[in-house]
Structure 1
């Protein structure tokens, strides 16, 4: 199985452990990731807050590169996935917008590729059966809440590959790894995103509610798909709540028995090693 790979800016900086783990897990599952040559920033908040055309043209440039590779792009970061998928949807459904973007880029957009989140690629394309077969050490006893955030499933007409209000793919994945995903009501709430820079007090309040709900549900850890969500939940915590926030690929790597997990975990703001060691000791 082969995909184009769009790491985006976060996975080369604050979210390096997501990049490391997704590459390692892909290799373990015989999935080939071909990094897009000369990829550009998706634009994220900055572009779509200032220029609608720019917000489409930047991610569309990456889609054009993927079309040249004849590979569907896999996008780990939820914000990047949202921007590429939104651009893909807009261009495929609006001929006038497509012509404008093609004029800006100086090339033709064929619409032959389908943007996939990393979560979608693993759970649907690779499949839970293949993932379960690769598990060497089940994460028995690990209670988690799955936090999808708001960008993986909204707006549903453009980006959702499952129920936008109650997604289940990450929950099913955690079960396949042997962990216990708990029921809670905050799985698609917003963490505050980039407001963490300009309105930290608002983000403290938003992440506080999410962390409180995770603890109330009985979770030992939170699992997410988004670098910004992961950063906000680990750095904007309050009330002495020190609950680890894992990328789902990190727990896949742990269950697969991959050797580089410690390298990933060292980059966390909340040390996950006490929890990881407790699983090892009881497993």
Structure 2
């Protein structure tokens, strides 16, 4: 199987652990990732805040490149996914834009959660689970950009998405139900309105603890950054003492596969997950 891959800027910098774990998992599964040649930034979040034309022109160029490859296009970042889906809707006339494009909408644009949770791929992943994640109690955190607005994302279960929950369950962990799976973490306010990010993060941590979780799974570099890098700061400010390691879903899949690079990925996290993993016999 061959798919096109748009990594986006974060996965080449602050979210290298996401990119490396994703590539490693796909390699084990025997799925060929073809990174788009000469891809560019999608404009999230600076362009779509400041320039309507660039907010469509930047992601549209990537779609034009992808369509020439004629494969499904996989996107790991929620913000990138949302921007490229917006460009797709503009290209087919559902959103007004002044951007001219050759893109015809002939390829499918998928977030990796949707791709990995397809029935055939779930079964494929399950075949490679060597070390079930028994003992981990995980809440799936999708964030606000994966499913909404549904007229852009085409996600049907936008109030209660289940793709990541399905993946967690086949890995042998327990997916804990909670009502904050699509709430906002503050996203791109991480540098401009830290007060909002802290407040939203505290709400998410409180609800994860209330749900009985001992860790959080994400599939977005912005969500990971806000929940991992700010967790100690939020704990100190609110006097809570949170210890909730934040994993990319691809890291959890790699862990269940017994991949040799897992520790390298996890060493980049600020909330060290090793104590939790040792406590349940996974390290």
TM value normalised by structure 1: 0.94
1:246-270 Cα deviation digits (max 9, x unpaired): 0001000000111110110011010
| Partners of 2:136 and 2:214 within 8 A in 1 | yes
1:72-131 Cα deviation digits (max 9, x unpaired): 21000111111111111221134863xx322xxxx5122111111011111117521111
**Per the alignment, in what secondary structure is the counterpart of residue 45 of structure 2?**
helix
- Give the number of equivalent residue pairs: 276
Q: How much has 1:200 moved relative to structure 2?
A: 0.4
| Partners of 1:222 and 1:244 within 8 A in 2 | yes
**Per the alignment, in what secondary structure is the counterpart of residue 119 of structure 1?**
helix
| Partners of 1:119 and 1:169 within 8 A in 2 | yes
| Partners of 2:201 and 2:226 within 8 A in 1 | yes
Alignment counterpart, residue 124 of structure 1, candidates 118, 131, 135? 118
Instruction: Indicate the residue corresponding to 1:213 in structure 2.
Output: 207
Q: Following the alignment from structure 2 to structure 1, what is the Cα–Cα distance between the partners of residues 227 and 268?
A: 14
Instruction: Indicate the residue corresponding to 1:197 in structure 2.
Output: 191
Q: Following the alignment from structure 2 to structure 1, what is the Cα–Cα distance between the partners of residues 185 and 2?
A: 32
Instruction: Indicate the residue corresponding to 1:187 in structure 2.
Output: 181
Q: Following the alignment from structure 1 to structure 2, what is the Cα–Cα distance between the partners of residues 123 and 9?
A: 24
Q: How much has 1:154 moved relative to structure 2?
A: 0.6
TM value normalised by structure 2: 0.94
| Partners of 1:120 and 1:161 within 8 A in 2 | no
Q: Following the alignment from structure 1 to structure 2, what is the Cα–Cα distance between the partners of residues 147 and 84?
A: 21
Q: Does 1:17 pair with 2:17?
A: yes
Which sections of structure 2, spanning at least 5 residues, go unmatched?
A: 236-240
1:37-88 Cα deviation digits (max 9, x unpaired): 1000000011111122211110010000101111221000111111111111
Instruction: Indicate the residue corresponding to 1:258 in structure 2.
Output: 259
Once the two structures are overlaid, the 10-residue window that deviates more, 64-73 or 120-129, is: 120-129
Instruction: Indicate the residue corresponding to 1:78 in structure 2.
Output: 78
Instruction: Indicate the residue corresponding to 1:158 in structure 2.
Output: 152
**Per the alignment, in what secondary structure is the counterpart of residue 187 of structure 1?**
coil
Instruction: Indicate the residue corresponding to 2:275 in structure 1.
Output: 274
**Per the alignment, in what secondary structure is the counterpart of residue 216 of structure 2?**
strand
Q: For 1:228-243, what aligned pairs fall within 5 Å after superposition?
A: 228-237=222-231, 238-239=234-235, 240-243=241-244
Q: How much has 1:148 moved relative to structure 2?
A: 0.3
Q: For 1:58-69, what aligned pairs fall within 5 Å after superposition?
A: 58-69=58-69
1:281–1:265 CA distance, 2 compared to 1 (3 A)? closer
| Partners of 1:152 and 1:160 within 8 A in 2 | no
1:14–1:108 CA distance, 2 compared to 1 (3 A)? same
Instruction: Indicate the residue corresponding to 1:44 in structure 2.
Output: 44
Instruction: Indicate the residue corresponding to 1:136 in structure 2.
Output: 130
Which sections of structure 1, spanning at least 5 residues, go unmatched?
A: none
Instruction: Indicate the residue corresponding to 1:28 in structure 2.
Output: 28
1:173–1:95 CA distance, 2 compared to 1 (3 A)? closer
Instruction: Indicate the residue corresponding to 2:105 in structure 1.
Output: 111
Q: Following the alignment from structure 2 to structure 1, what is the Cα–Cα distance between the partners of residues 15 and 156?
A: 25
| Partners of 1:140 and 1:279 within 8 A in 2 | yes
